[in-house]
Amino acid sequence: MDNPHYRVARLLDVQPETEDTSSYLFVLEDGGDFQFSPGQFNMLGLPGTEEAAISFSSLAVAGSGRFTHTIRRVGNVTKLIGELEIGQRVMVRGPFGHGWPIEQAVGCDVLLVAGGLGLAPLRPFLLYMLENRGQIRNLVLIFGARTPDDMIFQKDLARWQEQDEVSTIYCVDHLTRESNLRLRTGLVTRFMDGLDLDPRNTLACICGPEIMMRFVARNLALQGYRQDRIYLSMERRMRCGTAHCGHCQIGAKFVCQDGPVFSYPDIARFADTAL
Ligand SMILES: Cc1cc2nc3c(=O)[nH]c(=O)nc-3n(C[C@H](O)[C@H](O)[C@H](O)COP(=O)(O)OP(=O)(O)OC[C@H]3O[C@@H](n4cnc5c(N)ncnc54)[C@H](O)[C@@H]3O)c2cc1C
Ligand code: FES
């Protein structure tokens, strides 16, 4: 690891989400507090491995030292985390980066658009909005996945679909089986017209594959949504997490420190490498 300033966390619980993705609840071994904001991330590692940047998928609970990461097992670190037994330990550095601009939501409509695993960093933002529902106007979540089996947080999705406090649109590319959720078929961009939102007074937060974020942001801009109120969470390979190694750079921006959440105008001008 590049930076020795890590803390040790113990695995408390694992909840399977999809075939290759699970949510892992950790607690810090030192008994200390751990404060973080929706959209920030940790660098997670195990002895002898590099580290992987992983977003928080839970809200911070003051004084608990607990946090959840929702992780797809794709490579060295994430596969080893997937093999951990309850009680085993990981090394954690963080929290890093700038998260979602929660303070800008006050008095506004809020639109969250997530694709696949992109719902993980948006989940704590949505939970925060639901806990502080009186501060914002309309709240809309659009979530798309490839198939019903690729939808993470199914219990949350079912609960949110029944709640009056948030309007939900869930869609899949392929309706491969029946679901207890009300699902539409098509890409998220197909369901973005005529939302009960004021384009001039909406905070829009998008997270998912880069191509999806590009089309969603452009669609919103064309509909007259204020571009400086559209935010996206960018993903780049990371190493130091502290704006030193340059691995995560997009133009002049360091995703690890300036992001991972950027305003659309801030990142769109690096269009060749980003959006
Ligand atoms: C801010 C941020 C937040 C993230 N949040 C999450 C999250 O919440 N959950 C989650 O599951 N993931 C998240 N990721 C993605 C995660 O960090 C990566 O998938 C990470 O690479 C996994 O590490 P690994 O060691 O398991 O996989 P790696 O061994 O790094 O391999 C991952 C994939 O990348 C490919 N790869 C390996 N080396 C390279 C290379 N040099 N260049 C390009 N591709 C390569 C591999 O073939 C494999 O397909 C996030 C990333 C960022 C930047
Ligand atoms: S990860 Fe090293 S500069 Fe961002």
Residue whose CB lies within 8 A of the most ligand 2 atoms, among 40, 93, 240, for a mutation test: 240
Mean pLDDT estimate for the chain: 94
- The tens digit of pLDDT for each residue in 89-129 reads 999 999 999 999 999 999 999 999 999 999 999 999 999 99
Residue at 228 is within a domain: no
Interacting residues of 261 by C-beta distance below 8 A, sequence separation 6+? 39, 97, 98, 99, 100, 101, 205, 231, 232, 233, 234
The enclosing domain of 32 has a CATH number of 2.40.30.10
Check if 52 has its Cβ closer than 6 Å to any atom of ligand 2.
no
Q: Is-cis flag, bond preceding 101, omega within 30?
A: no
User: Do 98 and 127 meet the contact criterion of CB atoms below 8 Å apart?
Assistant: no
Residue 263 belongs to some domain of the structure: no
- Closest CA to ligand 1's atom 39: 237
ipTM value for the complex: 0.93
In this prediction, residue 2 carries a pLDDT of 45
% helix, strand, coil for the chain, step of 5: 25, 30, 45
Pair 62, 155 in one domain = no
**Which of 54, 247, 253, 262 should be mutated for ligand 2, with most atoms under 8 A from CB?**
247
pLDDT digits (tens, 9 = 90+) for 142-156: 999 999 999 999 999
Burial of 211 (C-beta count, 10 Å sphere; 0-12/13-18/19+): exposed
Q: Is residue 239 part of a domain?
A: no
Alpha-carbon distance 214 to 169, whole Å?
19
Query: Token pair 């105008």 is at which residue?
Result: 265
Minimal-distance CA residue to ligand 1 atom 18 = 52
Q: Which domain holds residue 40?
A: 7-96
Give me the pLDDT at residue 271, please: 56
Query: What is the share, in percent, of the chain residues with pLDDT greater than 90?
Result: 89
My answer on whether 111 and 44 are in the same domain is no
Decide if 101 contacts 204 (C-beta within 8 A): no
**139 and 116 share one domain:** yes
Do 78 and 143 lie in one domain? The reply is no
- Is 194 found in the same domain as 165? yes
Band (pLDDT 50/70/90 cuts) for residue 3 is very low
Question: Rounded distance, CA 208 to CA 188, Å?
Answer: 11
Q: Over the stretch 37-75, which tens digit does the pLDDT of each residue have?
A: 999 999 999 988 899 999 999 999 999 999 999 999 999
Q: Are strands 202-207 and 230-233 parallel, antiparallel or unpaired?
A: parallel
22 with 125, same domain?
A: no
Is residue 232, in this structure, part of any structural domain at all? no
pLDDT band at 272 (very low <50, low <70, confident <90, very high): low
Q: What is the pLDDT of residues 153-171, one digit of tens each?
A: 999 999 999 999 999 999 9
Ligand 1 test: best mutation among 74, 96, 100, most atoms within 8 Å of CB? 74
Centroid of ligand 2 to alpha carbon of 53 (angstroms)? 10
For residue 198, the domain's CATH number is 3.40.50.80
Ligand 2 in reach of 238 Cβ (< 6 A): yes
Q: Is 252 left (phi over 0), alpha (psi -120 to 50) or beta?
A: alpha
